[in-house]
Every structure is written in structure tokens, then in C-alpha cells.
Amino acid sequence: MKALKIIGIVLATIVGLILFIALFVPKEFAYEKSITINAPIDSVWANANSLAALDRWSPWNDHEPDMKKEMSGTDGTIGAKQSWAGEIVGKGSQTITRIEKPTLFETELVFIEPQESHGKGFVKLNTEGNGTKATWGMTGTMPYPFNIMILFMNMEKSMGKDWDRGLGRLKKLSEN
């Protein structure tokens, strides 16, 4: 009985410490990657200016090609929304929130499953010499106390390969 009491006190102390530390951990996270594309900005913009365009080079389709997708609104305009659902990719949506032709395409991301969170996705384009620098990224927040995971997240390890694959596809589409 004494051992159970000690184990209970130790577990409660660990949980309390984690909750206390989480009070001081930022709730925001950000991740982005860039690639130089040997094509004019207008050619790259044609592959990043709508949800359907993003879908052509999205690495998430590789994870679950049979996921269900649904579109509402007029694609390529503010307010258009694409929702997805699958066993591997979970459930969520992205809605176009900002378009600055030909330099910025921004969406609101809502993840419902496997864990609820919100964020912002974006593709930024800048002319660089004869080519275009494309930056793909996302920002988001994690609610307390789950924000403690930010201390242990390695965004490059968990997302880097997918981002590289997606940007590589965007480069190939834009250069051809």
C-alpha cells in the first residue's frame, strides 16, 4: 500500500511538473522550406494559385491516394474550401484566405483528426534572377497543455521529406 502511495505521488509530481512547464512554452510553431525554380514567377504561380493546383504536387496524396476530398466554393478565389478524410491522413480542411498574385497564396488549415489544431499554410514566390524562389510553409498553434510537445518536435524530421518531395514536384511542373 505504501508503494502505491509513493508511485501515485511520483506520477502526480511528474504530471504537475509537465503542466507547469507547459505554461511557459510557446503555443505557436512554424515550418517552411524553399526551392529555386528555373522558371518565371508566372509559370510557378500557375502551379500554386488554387487548391487544385496545390493538389497536383501535394505529397499527402502519396500517403493515402484514396482519401475522400470535397471542394466547395470557386477554386482560386478567397473562401474556396477543400476538405479531406482518410484513415491515414485524418480529417481536415483548408480554405483560401489570401491571394496576392503572383507572390502569395495562403490558406487556413483546420485539422480535426487525428488531433484537432488550426494553422495557416502558404506558398510565397519571389523572382530570383531568371528564376523563382518558392517558399512553402505553415504556422499554427497548439493548445495548452499539448504545447509542451513543441519542445520535443523535430519539424524537419517529421515533415522535411514530404516538404522536399512537394517542392520537387512543384519545380518539375513549373520547369516543364
Q: Domains of the chain, with CATH numbers?
A: 27-175 (3.30.530.20)
Q: What is the pLDDT of residues 50-96, one digit of tens each?
A: 999 999 999 988 889 899 999 999 999 999 999 999 998 899 999 99
Q: Are 172 and 164 in contact (CB under 8 A)?
A: no
Q: Give me the pLDDT at residue 63, please.
A: 87
Q: Give me the pLDDT at residue 3, please.
A: 84
Would the pLDDT of 142 be above 90?
Answer: no
Q: Which residues contact 41 (CB under 8 A, 6 or more apart)?
A: 102, 103, 125, 126, 127, 132
The pair phi, psi for residue 74, each rounded to 5°, is -95, 110
Q: Give me the pLDDT at residue 75, please.
A: 96
Would the pLDDT of 123 be above 80?
Answer: yes
Would the pLDDT of 146 be above 80?
Answer: no
Residue 2 to residue 108: CA distance in whole angstroms: 52
Average pLDDT in the 14-39 region? 85
The better pLDDT of the pair 159, 35 is held by 35
Average pLDDT in the 162-170 region? 95
The cell numbers describing 136, all together, are: 512553402
